[in-house]
Structure 1
Amino acid sequence: MKILAVCGTGLGSSFMVEMNIKSVLKELNAEGIEVEHSDLGAAVPGAADFFIAGRDIAMGMKHLDNVIELNNLLDKKELKEKIEKALQEKGML
């Protein structure tokens, strides 16, 4: 399984979200999940099982399934809740 954190340029905020995703996965004892970050252009079908992005970027990701939209990129609690729910729905937790 792969999770891709996405932002406009693939540098700042997506890297920060990637680090937070890794931390959340560790808290959830979720193993075997690859996490990377990229720009919006690399977010194509098949690139990941889940795509995580802020609301502004997620609006441009309608062509993808399994987009997790964050209201606040800095809110680790929101990130954890949404990842936990998504993984439970996939039977990963």
Structure 2
Amino acid sequence: MEIITVCGMGFGTSLMLKMTVDEILEQVGIKAEVSALDAGSAKGRNADLMITSADLESALEGVEANKIFIDNLTDADEVKQKLLHYLNKVSK
């Protein structure tokens, strides 16, 4: 599984989100390749899932990937809840 965390510039927020996602995946024992990218680069990549802030939703319109939009990027519980919901949905 390939997961891309996305922010406007490709560092900072997306790296913080990547570390959170890596930690969650380790906790639940799921292996995935997680990359941090800027919105422009993410548009050209094929991924199973993109995770980004809710304010970048319009920037990723038309991108063919499942997406999770996070309202509060510092809320690890929100990230975990939405990521686990997605993972449970695709594993069925």
Q: Which aligned pairs between 1:6-25 and structure 2 lie closer than 5 A?
A: 6-25=6-25
Is 2:64 the partner of 1:83?
Answer: no
How far off its partner does 1:60 sit? 1.4
Runs of 4+ in 1 over 2 A off after TM superposition: 44-47
> 1:46 deviation in Å?
4.8
Q: CA separation in 1, counterparts of 2:82 and 2:76?
A: 10
Matches within 5 A, 1:12-91: 12-31=12-31, 33-44=32-43, 46-64=45-63, 65-91=65-91
Deviation at 1:45, TM superposition (A): 5.9
Q: Relative to total residues, which structure has the larger helix share, 1 or 2? A: 2
> Structure 2: which 5+ runs fail to align?
none
Q: TM-score, normalised by structure 2?
A: 0.91
Over the residues paired in the alignment, what is the CA RMSD in angstroms? 1.5
CA deviation digits over 1:8-51, x for unaligned, max 9? 000110011000000011111112x1000000011126521100
- Distance in 1 between residues matched to 2:85 and 2:45, nearest whole Å: 21
| Structure 1 unpaired stretches of 5+ | none
Secondary structure at 1:48 match in 2: coil
The normalised TM-score by structure 1 is: 0.90
Aligned length: 91
Structure 1 SS opposite 2:60: coil
Identity among equivalent pairs (%) = 32
